[in-house]
Structure 1
Amino acid sequence: MAQHALVTGSSHGLGAHLAARLAADGWKVTGLGRRPASETPGTPGVDHLQADLSRPETLERITDRLGEAPDLIVHNAVSYPPRPAHELSLAELEDVFRVNALVPYRLTLDLLAATPDTRFTSIVVINSESMFHADRDSGAYAASKAALRVLTGSLADACRSRNTAVATLLLGPLADPDKVAQLQRVAARRGVDEAEITRVFLRKSNPDLVIEELIDFDACYRSVQYLAGLGRAANGMLCRLDGGSAGSLI
């Protein structure tokens, strides 16, 4: 019988890629995303559930809609503030924190409560090195990611005596399609190589980075595979796939 994986934030981008790769590798995958099924890739083997995690009432229905408890949970859902942090209303701040930190925490607790302790559960929480580089405009997003990191640590501590592992995959700048397309347009406009434009972009945006290319989605998937494959030894683990952008002493 195929194992069951839940991937949040699976409507597009990295989440869609992780869900598709898991399905291709034989997992029974449930993808959770804000977009309706008609706006998702429609990947074979991925059962899409539409859910807006910024709405408080959504959380109450997710566990019932899932049916069986998953063997693997990948928290990838993310919300980006619509405006700079100092311009956000309290409601907008709450939405960002709810999606980026509070729902992954609360949903994990609910799913674990419904899972027999004889069944191993692997939880991989996708986080961002942005928490180390907060500025005037990115403070709300960075703070939500810092909150996610603290809550993930508390989940790992709570799972010390459970048949569960809670690990963090910390990512640097990703090669998402929109970012790649933007860099390609800049390279074409300036008549230079795309790789050189990417190097310049990364050096300016991430001074501590020691790689000169964006991190591809497949590297992220292999990292998720690695963490899930470690079993209980992965509990509390932090795996950095950030090219050193979080700083040399971290």
Structure 2
Amino acid sequence: MAKNRAWIIGASQSLGAHFATRMAAEGWAVTGLGRRPAAEAGLPAEVTYVQADLSVPETLDGLAEKLGDVPELVVYNAVRYPAQSEGPPPLGELEAVFRVNALAPYRLLLDLLGRPREHFCSCVVVNSDAMYHAREQNGVYSASKAALRVLTGTLAATCRGGDAAVSTLLVGPLADPQKLAGLRRVAEQRGVTEAEVVRAFLRKTNTNLVIDALIDFESCYQGLMHMARLGPVANGMMYRLDGGSSGGLV
């Protein structure tokens, strides 16, 4: 019996790497795409890895065809944050952020949904709660995520009544290893518990959320698989994971 296939776009680290690893362990044939070299991705041997930089316009040309036949599940998880610099960010940097965070998933999924296939295809776009809350420090990133939400909605509209679904996994602040290591160092330096530092961090950086803990990767994975199992019912759906907050509205 042939394996179900999945593409994980943005699989070289953090949440995307968790998705690719978990799906491969459950018997999926997984192709992961990421900006980092394969040696730095640390993915299991079962995952087919493709290195590509989505901030480069030419990368998208024919990418859907290069990745192979249309799979049963596509997850777009790639993300780019604006580079920290003095003064206004260069226009090229702004374009790169919007290209990776909004334009690339729209173009890639539009190309993919236009290809012939003999099976249902679930497309899940990972988005951020930051799209609701633009601040001085993250305005560009938030705007790119708001654009992604609008474009995801238009993709879902094209799938209505068809053999594909486009949905959104909306996440709040994630418990990625790099962030956890930094918070652990702060806790050790101050002589307090890690939980205390996490609560202080969340209250300062996510004033729109009422949560005391970061969102774990496994909860995100379970949400992803739930939407994939729903099939056409998930089209246009938003599955929100914000740690049980009551501080934001969808």
What is the TM-score when the length of structure 2 is the normalising length?
0.95
CA deviations on 1:156-193 (whole Å, 9 max, x unpaired) are 01100311111101100000111101110110011111
Segments of 4+ moved more than 2 angstroms: 83-86, 207-211, 243-250
- After TM superposition, the structure 1 = structure 2 runs for residues 216-235 of structure 1, keeping only pairs within 5 Å, are 216-235=216-235
Q: Structure 1 CA distance, aligned partners of 2:39 and 2:167?
A: 32
Q: Match of 1:128?
A: 128
Pair 1:115–1:45, CA change in 2 (3 A): farther
Q: Structure 2 CA distance, aligned partners of 1:151 and 1:195?
A: 37
Unaligned residue ranges in structure 2 (runs of 5+): none
> Does the 8 Å CA contact 2:210/2:246 hold for their aligned counterparts?
no
> Does the 8 Å CA contact 1:5/1:29 hold for their aligned counterparts?
yes
> Does the 8 Å CA contact 2:187/2:194 hold for their aligned counterparts?
yes
Q: What residue identity is the alignment partner of 1:138?
A: N
Question: SS at the partner of 1:74?
Answer: strand
Question: SS at the partner of 1:207?
Answer: coil
Q: Structure 1 CA distance, aligned partners of 2:115 and 2:92?
A: 31
Unaligned residue ranges in structure 1 (runs of 5+): none
Structure 1 residue 86, shift from structure 2 partner: 6.2
Q: Structure 2 CA distance, aligned partners of 1:246 and 1:58?
A: 40
Structure 1 residue 242, shift from structure 2 partner: 1.3
Q: Match of 2:64?
A: 63
Structure 1 residue 204, shift from structure 2 partner: 1.9
> Does the 8 Å CA contact 2:127/2:169 hold for their aligned counterparts?
yes
Question: SS at the partner of 2:61?
Answer: helix
> Does the 8 Å CA contact 1:101/1:148 hold for their aligned counterparts?
yes
Equivalent pairs counted in the alignment come to 249
Pair 1:187–1:235, CA change in 2 (3 A): same
Q: Match of 2:194?
A: 194
Structure 1 residue 137, shift from structure 2 partner: 2.1
Structure 1 residue 123, shift from structure 2 partner: 0.6
Q: Match of 1:19?
A: 20
Q: Structure 2 CA distance, aligned partners of 1:86 and 1:212?
A: 34
Question: SS at the partner of 2:62?
Answer: helix
Structure 1 residue 68, shift from structure 2 partner: 1.3
Identity percentage over the alignment?
57
**Greater alpha carbon shift after TM alignment, 106-115 vs 141-150:** 106-115
Structure 1 residue 199, shift from structure 2 partner: 1.1
**Greater alpha carbon shift after TM alignment, 208-217 vs 69-78:** 208-217
What is the TM-score when the length of structure 1 is the normalising length?
0.95
Question: SS at the partner of 2:116?
Answer: coil
Pair 1:218–1:146, CA change in 2 (3 A): same
Q: Structure 1 CA distance, aligned partners of 2:226 and 2:86?
A: 35
Structure 1 residue 62, shift from structure 2 partner: 1.5
- After TM superposition, the structure 1 = structure 2 runs for residues 41-120 of structure 1, keeping only pairs within 5 Å, are 41-83=42-84, 87-116=88-117, 118-120=118-120
Question: SS at the partner of 1:173?
Answer: coil
Q: Structure 2 CA distance, aligned partners of 1:5 and 1:138?
A: 31
Q: Structure 2 CA distance, aligned partners of 1:115 and 1:26?
A: 25
Pair 1:86–1:153, CA change in 2 (3 A): farther
- After TM superposition, the structure 1 = structure 2 runs for residues 136-175 of structure 1, keeping only pairs within 5 Å, are 136-175=136-175
Question: SS at the partner of 1:87?
Answer: coil
> Does the 8 Å CA contact 1:206/1:245 hold for their aligned counterparts?
no
CA deviations on 1:118-176 (whole Å, 9 max, x unpaired) are 41000110000111121122111100000000000000011003111111011000001
